[in-house]
Copies of this chain bind each other. A is one copy, B any other.
């Protein structure tokens, strides 16, 4: 940190950078969780979460990673010995598989393959082959590949087959639209550390009445992540968490949700659209390929297929150690093959500029010839055309 040439830039899809005002709020003295000053913050967060989830449901909050909210969906909806369908297209979709197996489901797996979307027609076919599946689990934004699924269409297909649908929106919520009530999505889970611009440690599950009823009909086997107990606490006046809430994270979340409200949710989505478009334009200007299908909605993470001529695993390492820019490489079967640049949450135009500048310099250092500034220039053009820099909230 002593060398300003090594200023640090966090460009991963979680944890993500957080606004200074969020850090400031979390540096305030700790509050007792039953004190009026905290209850006010807690109640306001629960209200404002509804706006971001675009729902009238209670958004249930847990002190946990996003995976904890995923587990809550499985623990509350899956019954041992009954079928559950997972429609996956990458590492985080496969986490649904692990959870469903752990909780005793008869697994039906629709595996679209890493880098593909889950096609609604394929889900329809799979549900037709397996009548009586009560719940479908799938992913909004598959962080391992950058792919964003068409949740509206998948929800229609699931409902037509009489199934509920539960969606992992950990990296997607607040970056790409998933209007829960409009689309009738039964369960949306998310976490604090992505587009909600907070540190990791809070997990959320928004479950509609049908999902809550299913959970209630099959109690037991869960306590910390039990929806019924959490709903009961949060519906009290004033609302009460069944377990000690992570008070400092709520202090930060309160400020972050205020910033989202101030910017306006539609403008937040538009900003992410412009960031995604700029990132994809930069990739193309460097004569490289975006990994996954061409998709103007894939605005959470941009995955770049790396040139075969270089050692791809070196890209994130060199970007970080040499230039101070932390991005993510490929996971699992994509290790060394892709680089992933995130733009979900507190990201503005010059975050993309900085990242692609470092990326270009890194490619050059690793022996892949690129025109320095070419990717950056393409991103700049997108930003100017869109009438930005429209900076993220201060």
Instruction: Give A contacts to B, CB under 8 Å.
Output: 8, 10, 12, 14-18, 23-24, 26-35, 62-68, 71, 74, 98-99, 102-104, 191, 193, 199-201, 220-226, 243-249, 320, 326, 328
Contact = CB atoms under 8 A, between A and B. Distances in A.
Contacts of A244: 14-15, 65-67, 191, 193, 200
A29 B324 CA distance: 13
B224 A221 contact: no
- Ranked 4 nearest A-B pairs via Cβ: A201-B246, A199-B248, A65-B243, A27-B27
6 contacts: A10-B30, A63-B200, A65-B244, A67-B224, A71-B224, A191-B244
A8 to B, nearest CB: 7
Contacts of A64: 62-64, 68, 224
Contact of A246 (B17, B200, B245): B200
Interface residue SS majority, chain A: loop
Contacts of A99: 223
Contacts of A10: 29-32
Contact of A18 (B18, B30, B33, B67): B30
Nearest to A191: B244
A191 to B, nearest CB: 8
Contacts of A98: 223
A326 B246 contact: no
A111 B99 CA distance: 36
A301 to B, nearest CB: 14
Contact of A68 (B8, B29, B63): B63
A39 to B, nearest CB: 12
Nearest to A65: B243
Given A30-B199, A66-B243, A200-B248, 10 more contacts: A15-B247, A23-B28, A27-B27, A35-B326, A63-B68, A102-B226, A104-B220, A200-B244, A201-B201, A248-B248
Contacts of A226: 102
A14 B33 CA distance: 8
Contacts of A24: 27
Contacts of A222: 102
A67 B104 CA distance: 24
A248 B26 contact: yes
B27 A247 contact: no
A201 B249 contact: yes
Contacts of A26: 23, 26-27, 248
A351 to B, nearest CB: 13
Contacts of A31: 10, 15
A103 B221 contact: yes
A128 B225 CA distance: 35
A219 to B, nearest CB: 8
Contact of A65 (B28, B63, B200): B63
Nearest to A248: B199
Contacts of A193: 30, 244
Contacts of A67: 223-224, 243-244
A63 B224 CA distance: 12
Contacts of A74: 223
Contacts of A191: 244
Given A64-B64, A201-B248, A246-B199, A221 B102 contact: yes
A345 B293 CA distance: 53
